[in-house]
Amino acid sequence: MGQAFGCIQVDQSNVVVREHFGKFDDVLEPGCHCLPWCLGYQVAGSLTLRVQQLDVRCETKTKDNVFVNVVASVQYRAIAEKASDAFYRLTNTREQIQSYVFDVIRASVPKLNLDAVFEQKNDIAKAVEEELEKAMSTYGFEIVQTLIVDIEPDVQVKRAMNEINAAARLRLAANEKAEAEKILQIKKAEGEAESKYLSGLGIARQRQAIVDGLRDSVLAFSDNVPGTTPKDVMDMVLVTQYFDTMKEIGASSKSSSVFIPHGPGAVRDVATQIREGLLQASSVEKPI
C-alpha cells in the first residue's frame, strides 16, 4: 500500500535495495523513504543485517582411514556498507559458505589421526573461519564465528574406542588389585615369620627355665638330704611330673588321652625308660 503512494518503510536490522529502471540506485536504511514508482524507482529486494547461522555436516576421512562426520556451525551477517555486493554478487549465500567449509574440512582432517581430530578441533575451526573470512568479505559478508560442534565417527568405531578404553581401565584395575594382594601376602609372610621367631624364643626360654629349675632342685635337694645322689633326685622329679600330668588329664573332661601302666611298680619303669631314652639320644649325638 505504501508503494502505491510512493512511500516505503524499512524495518530495523534490515536494508532495502532500490533500483531505477532496473539499475541499482541506492541502499535504503531502516526508516521511511520516498519511492516514486512513476519515475521508474522500485524495490529490488531486502537484506537482513542480523547474524545468521548455518550448520554444515561434512563427511570425510582421517589419516588412519576412519570416516567421520564433522559438523561446523558458521555464524555470518551481511555488511551494511557492502549491502549491494551481498545482494547482487551471490545467488545462494548458504550454498557458497557450505562449499568453502567442505573444502577446508576435507583438506584439514585427512592430515590428522582420529584422536588428533578431537584434540585439534579448534585449529580446524580457525582454519575454516580464516578461509571463509577471506572469501566472503569480497561478497559483502562478515564471518562472526566458526565452531566445530560435533565430530561423529562411525558407530562401530565409537564402540571399538570405548572397548579399548574399558580394556585399558580393566588392565589398570587388575594391576592395582594384584599389587594389593602382593602387599597383603608380603605382610602376612612377615607376620608369620615374626610370630615363629617369637614363638621359638619363647620355647627356648621355657626350656632354659626348666633346665635351670631342675638343676637348682637337684643341687638344693643334694645339699639338704645327705647321701642322695643326682640320680635319686631326677627319679623323684620325674615321678612328681608324672603325677602332675595325670592330675591335669583327669581334670579335663574333653581331653583325648592314651593311658600307660601307672601302678606303683610301673612308676620306676617309666622313669627308667625316660632316662634311658635321654641317654641313648645323647650317645647318638656324640661321635664315637
Question: The domain spanning residue 97 has which CATH number?
Answer: 3.30.479.30
Say yes or no: 213 and 164 in one domain: yes
Say yes or no: 167 and 244 in one domain: yes
Say yes or no: 145 and 61 in one domain: yes
Burial class (CB in 10 A: 0-12, 13-18, 19+), 231: exposed
Whether 269 maps to a domain, the answer reads no
Say yes or no: 72 and 141 in one domain: yes
pLDDT value of position 261 = 57
Say yes or no: 223 and 197 in one domain: yes
Structural domain for 192, as ranges:
155-250
Whether 274 maps to a domain, the answer reads no
H or E stretch covering 197: helix 155-224
Write down which residue in 98, 126, 153 finishes a domain: 153
Total of domains in the chain? 3
Say yes or no: 71 and 147 in one domain: yes
Q: How many other β-carbons are positioned within 10 Å of the β-carbon of residue 40? A: 12
Say yes or no: 136 and 68 in one domain: yes
Whether 280 maps to a domain, the answer reads no
Write down which residue in 106, 133, 153 finishes a domain: 153
What's the whole-model pTM score?
0.54
Say yes or no: 41 and 107 in one domain: no
Whether 145 maps to a domain, the answer reads yes
Whether 144 maps to a domain, the answer reads yes
Write down which residue in 153, 175, 200 finishes a domain: 153
Whether 241 maps to a domain, the answer reads yes
257 alpha-carbon distance from chain centroid? 62
Whether 266 maps to a domain, the answer reads no
Sign of CA dihedral 171, 173, 174, 175: positive
Q: Name the residue with cell 573444502.
A: 103
Q: Name the residue with cell 536494508.
A: 15
Say yes or no: 203 and 234 in one domain: yes
Q: How many other β-carbons are positioned within 10 Å of the β-carbon of residue 250? A: 10
Whether 265 maps to a domain, the answer reads no
Over the chain (288 residues), what is each successive 10-residue block's mean pLDDT?
68 89 87 83 89 92 88 92 89 90 91 88 91 90 92 81 80 87 89 87 81 72 68 70 72 62 60 66 55
Say yes or no: 26 and 75 in one domain: no
Asked if 15 and 29 count as a contact pair (C-beta separation under 8 A), the reply is yes
pLDDT value of position 253 = 62
Say yes or no: 198 and 141 in one domain: no
Say yes or no: 108 and 201 in one domain: no
